[in-house]
Amino acid sequence: MPYRVFARDRDMNLVGEIDTWIKLDFVVRFCQQGAWQLLIKNGTPQARLLQQGGGIVIYQDGVDWPVFSGPVDMIQRYWTTVQHTGPGSLYIGGKCDNTVLYGYLALPGAVVTPAGSVPMPIDKQWLGSDSRPIAGPAGQAVWAEADMALGSRALQDRAQPRVSVGPNPGPIGKPVNQAVRYDNLGTLIEGWYKDKEFGYRMAWSPSSRKVELKVFKPRDLSKEVRLSPELGNLREYVWTLSAPRITRAIVACRGEGKERYVFQRIDAEGERQWGCIREQLVDRRDIPLKTGPAGQPELVLKKNSDGTEDVGTNPEGGEWTPELAKAKEKLAGLQKARADAQKRYDEATKPEEKQKAAAEVSAAQARLLPAVLEVQSATEGAKRFMLAHYLKAVEDAAAAALKEGEKNGNFQVYPIDTPQCAFGKDYFVGDKVTVAVDGEEYADVIREVNITVENGGQTETVTPKVGQQGEGDPLNLYKTVWEMREKLRKLEARM
């Protein structure tokens, strides 16, 4: 049997091997939560090894390190009159040990110590900042957040002594720079690994008998590991082209009736290839644009009480341009000086004081007019900037709609483990491999592997997902699959 399953207790000790199971399914995912499920006969000594708080450790023949480990999250008893008779069967399952990070939040409130940032207690978070900045290489940031959440810098009631985050791995991966505010830690890290220049894995260690965090740089095995029918390590492949669901995105903004600004973007290539037109309305009344008398887009602005236009603030809450911010700050200072001069005039009791204060009011008033004109000029510049900003927002909304409904190319491969090339021994999730099919080569990272073993280990299925491939997954493989199709058509034409 290529895979051996062991049960572990809540103290992370292996308590026995399970070799009487009926079916084993597990999914190994790159920088995400994997999953497992075991079907075993109920009431047996081996079934009783798997308890709440415990878990499993799966070894692969010829590999020293566990290929999978994870806790028990679900126990389901199953009985029928046909197949699962007598005491019935048990479905026992859960996630992989990466799930540890998905149980924690990135707390915003922290204090800086010689050992690094330390989270403030939950009931003291209100004393800290609304958000906490994270900056540095992605791999190092994963380690730091894990250490703060459950490691040496964790709050006492959050620490997990049976989990080790290990030493600082150093600079691995591209820099991250963002603020966190009660973000789920596992989900947060999912947004960092997409550049494929770092990876992490949490798995049970046979030496420490703990779940250990490993941060690493993925291996480029695209020249060493090749999956191809000609090499005998690919039993099946399926490629699928799907027509676009949207070929024309029509974005409608805030204006009403004939003033409503409407923008259209067309996927001309998709319409040409598939011979279809599929329109989609994108309602963006939050974008303050309307159609002017000349048919051109204009800003929709409110009027202030003095008749001037209110341009509001940018999405970050500041002024639209530095020039407008400077002009407004200058005007505010002069208005204060004018108000102070007026106050001195109103409070003056002697004629000479009144005369002096009146002169100050007149001088302050004279300085106000150029400042008002400067704000008006800066406002016009800000309006041009705003218009460009919102026009880009319209274009981005159209592009996003087309992206969501774009033509699709799925590519699924089903390899065969051979002595020269086997999952777990020669390649793992996070590694970059090459798939060679129909005269085309595609190299990308293995992000997921589904493994099913049944019939006492006689039937085994290993299904990796390379890059963004997968049944029903959104792909960036349309061009690759289209080129495969075109090559195949030309080859058939010559036969």
Residue 284 has pLDDT above 50, yes or no: yes
Q: Which residues contact 343 (CB under 8 A, 6 or more apart)?
A: none
Q: Are residues 150 and 198 in the same domain?
A: yes
Please answer whether residues 234 and 218 qualify as being in contact, where contact means their C-beta atoms are separated by less than 8 angstroms: no
Residues 185 and 236 occupy one common structural domain: no
> Does 182 share its domain with 149?
yes
Q: 414 and 399, same structural domain?
A: no
Among 94, 111, 137, which residue terminates a domain? 94
Q: Are residues 119 and 202 part of one domain?
A: yes
In one-letter notation, the amino acid at residue 263 is: F
| pLDDT 10s digits, 330-374 | 989 988 988 988 888 888 888 888 888 889 889 988 888 898 889
Residues 335 and 355 in one domain: yes
The proportion of the chain whose per-residue pLDDT surpasses 70, expressed as a percent, equals 91
In a domain? residue 264? no
Residues 112 and 193 reside in one and the same domain: yes
Among candidate residues 61, 94, 127, the one where a domain is terminated? 94
**Predicted local distance difference test score (pLDDT) of residue 141:** 93
- The beta strands (E) that lie in 273-431 are given as 279-283, 289-291, 297-299, 302-303, 309-310, 408-415
The string over 4-40, giving b where at least 16 C-beta atoms fall within 10 Å of a residue's C-beta and e elsewhere, is bbbbbeeebeeeeebeebbbbbbbbbbbbbbbbbbbb
Q: Do 147 and 192 fall within a single domain? A: yes
Res. 403: pLDDT tops 50: yes
pLDDT tier at 472 (50, 70, 90 boundaries)? very low
Question: Is residue 384 located within the same domain as residue 457?
Answer: no
Residue, of 116 and 471, whose pLDDT is higher:
116
| Higher-confidence position of 1 and 88 | 88
Q: Are residues 296 and 397 in the same domain?
A: yes
Query: Within a domain: residue 254?
Result: no
pLDDT category at 485 given cuts 50, 70, 90 is: low
Query: 62: left (phi > 0), else alpha (psi -120 to 50), else beta?
Result: left
User: What does the pLDDT look like over 180-210, one tens digit per residue?
Assistant: 999 999 999 998 877 668 999 999 999 999 9
Sign, CA torsion 114/117/119/125? positive
Q: Tell me whether residue 262 is in a domain.
A: no
- Claim to verify: residue 436 and residue 386 sit in the same structural domain: no
- The reported pLDDT for the residue numbered 156 is 93
Q: CATH number of the domain at 132, please.
A: 3.55.50
Confidence of residue 157 (pLDDT cuts 50, 70, 90): very high
- Indicate the number of domains in the chain: 4
- Is 474's pLDDT higher than 70? no
Write out the residue range of the structural domain in which residue 342 sits.
289-404
Q: For residue range 425-463, what is the model confidence (pLDDT) as tens digits?
A: 899 999 999 888 877 787 888 888 889 888 666 667 887
